[in-house]
Structure 1
């Protein structure tokens, strides 16, 4: 009994200090993204670098690989947020285009099926298809986030709902708790971005009205 309690306590407080640093910086980067702060990108890059080690050690190879992709996407997203708007201006919040939804759906299905099969038959990965699905969903959500599409938060909510039990099952308790907090941040981010988008649309409408010729 004491041995079981010790094992649970050790996992609950974090398998290594590295996991706790990754947890704290991971929470910070999502909060900064919800606030539309450019600082979310350098913090995300640092956190993802730590999670490469954490996930690999837990046998979640797809999620470990995902962190490398996140680092590359964060570098691109950093540039897009700064210069992706009209005339190389700051990128505004906007709605997801139809072709983007189709592309994300095709990618998620293809990646989950293909990479899940590879992990199941060629590695000792645990939960290979669930691992692949959350990886694909996270990449799709990150793609929409770096384009500042409002609906990226919808995908993050779905992914976070799955990550909480998966990470708990893998005894990554601090990280499982982090993803539970991400759920709240994703809802907050959606509300904040929607508010920001409405403000920008109102400002654009006002500017058009001011420059319209009067009869």
Structure 2
């Protein structure tokens, strides 16, 4: 039990700020998962699940016992649960799609991208944008009610809700193979980076800033891959 307590509480001090190893490792797994997503590899999902569990423990602890400069981030904690659930769905879906793709090639499955990126259809995009707008309104109200006893301004809960809902949209879009998910992550990071820095989660804020560069590169990579692979698949059908 003492060993588990030590592992849970282990910290390192960076520029005078105590940072738990759970936050550092959780973000490391999250970054590895993002790289796997860019490369469209199935292993991105289980790696991301490990990071979700670690980061959930970080933000849940802060939410239950907010102290000092770190105010609670209900959205940051709650979205880790959604990440985990969606990651299971994405993991199974990408495995199934990749398995089907291997029937058309002699190459090893491990070297193949899991899915062919595509833009969401107009109906799909309108659907998730309307759902996201409604969800943000509801979620910020829920967060403000739950956090009534915490010294946080109302705008804080709007930002937290934006991050929470945007993350849900991005993760679901990634599972569906929509190129839109990169744009959703950019929208999340625009609010998430300053909010995390303001809250004292410096490693996570810095990592999200690095994510922004990765996300822009991922967007361009997926867009090119979607065009190229869709054209190839159409040519096979016409042949």
- Fold shared per TM-score above 0.5: yes
Unaligned ranges ≥5, structure 2: 1-12, 63-71, 102-113
> When the two structures are aligned, how many residues end up with a matched partner?
201
Unaligned ranges ≥5, structure 1: 1-6, 211-215
Which whole-Å CA distance do the structure 2 matches of 1:181 and 1:157 have between them?
A: 11
Q: CA deviation at 1:84?
A: 4.1
- 2:94 corresponds, among 81, 105, 109, to 81
Q: 2:129 — aligned with what?
A: 105
Output one character per residue of 1:79-123: Cα deviation in whole Å (capped at 9) or x when no partner: 1112248x9545321111122212221222222111211221232
Which deviates more, 75-84 or 142-151? Answer: 75-84
Q: 1:37 — aligned with what?
A: 41
Instruction: State TM-score, norm by structure 2.
Output: 0.78
| Residue pair 1:82, 1:91 contacting (<8 A) in 2 also | no
| Structure 1 residue 158 corresponds to structure 2 residue 162 | no
| Structure 1 residue 27 corresponds to structure 2 residue 51 | no
Moved over 4 A (4+): 87-90
Which whole-Å CA distance do the structure 1 matches of 2:83 and 2:89 have between them?
A: 10
Task: Find the residue that maps to 1:36 and give its secondary structure.
Answer: coil
Task: Find the residue that maps to 2:16 and give its secondary structure.
Answer: helix
Task: Find the residue that maps to 1:186 and give its secondary structure.
Answer: helix
| Residue pair 2:40, 2:115 contacting (<8 A) in 1 also | no
Instruction: State TM-score, norm by structure 1.
Output: 0.86
Q: 1:70 — aligned with what?
A: 83
Task: Find the residue that maps to 1:15 and give its secondary structure.
Answer: strand
Q: 1:204 — aligned with what?
A: 233
Q: CA deviation at 1:138?
A: 0.8
| Residue pair 2:163, 2:192 contacting (<8 A) in 1 also | yes
Which whole-Å CA distance do the structure 1 matches of 2:122 and 2:27 have between them?
A: 34
Q: CA deviation at 1:170?
A: 0.6
